[in-house]
Structure 1
Amino acid sequence: MRTLATRFAGIDGMIRLLALFIGLAVVVAAPFAIWGEHTDRLWSTAALVETAGDSLAYAWLIIIALLVVDLLIPVPNTAVIAAGGILYGPLLGGAVATVGLVMAGLVGYGASRRFGRPVARWLIGEDGVEEGERLFANSGGWLVAASRWLPILPEVISCMAGLARMPFHRFVLAMLSGVIPLAFAFATAGYYGADRPLLTLVLAALLPLPVWYVIRSLQARATP
């Protein structure tokens, strides 16, 4: 009887967790639905290069700032990263984009871990919070690594990881597994004027998972 009750509690917690995920996704997606078309024009690759082309000493700050504020307002990340590649080349441009994307992930993770826990308990109850902890303890690294190339999901998953108190070092390593391929793939595409956006997207989407697998394997071998 107790086992059955525990199982039903787990199912209820998962439903509550899913509701929180959908709610966060709606909140993050709302600015895209309202202002997305305008910001796509405002911060397109060509517009960014034209605006920042004469200020290379400071353009990297603009790129990082845009990638970070994507947590709050709709910013076309891939266009910003491609502009960094055009301005600074694939290596430095990719490095600048990596810094911006990592900072965005850390802000979402840190703010949710520090301030979001009471709100999550109020919205989905202790069962939902515990279910989130179990999910991110078992599969959090895969979720974080695989979500980086998708719209909206990186912000949502970063916040969920913070709410679930996913270990900080694991979150950072998983995030880097997804961020680095994304940053350097689109910076390279911008620099060389790649006319194969689908190939760039496929590389950014598929590389994070084997990278995270290698990191996990190395960590497992290093653990006595």
Structure 2
Amino acid sequence: MKTLIKVMLAMAVIFASTFILGRLLGVLSEDNVRAWIEYAGTMSALSVLALVVGLLAIDLFVAVPTLTIVILGSYFLGFEWGFAAAMGGSAIAAFGGYAICWRWGEGALAKVIRDAAQRDDMRQAFSAHGPGMIMLARAAPILPEVTACMAGMTRMPFWRFAAFWAVGTLPYMGIASYAGSISTLDDPRPAIFAALGLYAVMWAGWFVYRRYRMQSETTQNA
């Protein structure tokens, strides 16, 4: 488990560095993203859809304000197309990270963790804890990308990763898209309440999941 935490923290630092760099350079800030989507909204729905998908897709490499993008995109596109764009862009980022780390992650991991036994321990730990992490990854920025890369690196079967990803992502994007579609610039309360509610539910899920894992491990060790 220690090796798993070590690797995930290292990956989180890498992703966080892109976020910090982007903020320092003034690129992909929440204000910029908001301005881009609003400008695209003055042109065509297709422009908004392409921008939302593109922004969410590059979240794999540069951290972006996901919830803001989904809510604003759905405001201009409506629920159905906003939800489709949100799921499409998120899927590109998640499955792209999985594929990249499936192909090259093992070699990179071997250079960081030279002990084969520790790498095996990490795979076993992620096999046990990974499903919960993937489903609840939307509770915090960067975690969705980290868990997707970990799934590929540890060679979790794709269908298994996709199923857990869908369980966590479909309701999250669905609620955010619906809230955005019924919000207006004069009344943004649905979007605000949805954002607060989503994070509250996700963090509550983490709390329940952690308690469940601790109880299970205590029972097994007894």
TM-score > 0.5, shorter chain as reference: yes
CA apart distance, 1:16: 3.0
- Which SS does the other structure have where 1:173 is aligned? helix
Alignment CA distance shift 1:122-1:132 (3 Å)? same
Counterpart of 1:219 in structure 2 is: none
Tell me, which stretches of 5 or more residues in structure 1 are unaligned?
Answer: 1-13, 211-224
Inter-partner Cα distance in structure 2 for 1:47 and 1:81: 13
Counterpart of 1:103 in structure 2 is: 92
CA apart distance, 1:209: 11
CA apart distance, 1:69: 0.4
Equivalent pair of 1:146/1:209 in contact (CA under 8 Å)? no
Matched ranges for 1:106-145 at <5 A? 106-125=95-114, 126-145=116-135
- The match for 2:31 among 30, 33, 41 is 41
Equivalent pair of 1:63/1:80 in contact (CA under 8 Å)? yes
Could you tell me the TM-score, scaled by structure 1's length? 0.79
Tell me, which stretches of 5 or more residues in structure 2 are unaligned?
Answer: 184-189, 209-222
Matched letter for residue 161 of structure 1: A
CA apart distance, 1:104: 0.6
1:112-168: per-residue Cα shift (whole Å, max 9, x none)?
010110110121132232122212322322111111342011111111111111111
Counterpart of 2:146 in structure 1 is: 156
CA apart distance, 1:72: 1.2
Question: Stretches of 4+ moved more than 4 A in 1?
Answer: 203-210
Equivalent pair of 1:182/1:205 in contact (CA under 8 Å)? no
Counterpart of 1:18 in structure 2 is: 5
Matched letter for residue 26 of structure 1: V
Inter-partner Cα distance in structure 1 for 2:90 and 2:207: 18
Number of equivalent positions: 196
Alignment CA distance shift 1:177-1:160 (3 Å)? same
Inter-partner Cα distance in structure 2 for 1:15 and 1:157: 16
CA apart distance, 1:110: 0.7
Matched ranges for 1:1-224 at <5 A? 14-36=1-23, 38=26, 39-44=29-34, 47-125=36-114, 126-193=116-183, 194=190, 195-196=192-193, 197-203=195-201
Could you tell me the TM-score, scaled by structure 2's length? 0.80
CA apart distance, 1:57: 2.2
Inter-partner Cα distance in structure 2 for 1:206 and 1:169: 27
Equivalent pair of 2:98/2:149 in contact (CA under 8 Å)? yes
Identity %: 26
Alignment CA distance shift 1:149-1:97 (3 Å)? farther
Inter-partner Cα distance in structure 1 for 2:137 and 2:99: 18
Inter-partner Cα distance in structure 1 for 2:118 and 2:199: 34
Matched letter for residue 175 of structure 2: A
1:26-51: per-residue Cα shift (whole Å, max 9, x none)?
0000121232373222102x541233
Matched letter for residue 75 of structure 1: V
CA apart distance, 1:67: 0.5
Counterpart of 1:222 in structure 2 is: none
Equivalent pair of 1:181/1:203 in contact (CA under 8 Å)? no
Matched letter for residue 24 of structure 1: M
Inter-partner Cα distance in structure 2 for 1:208 and 1:91: 29
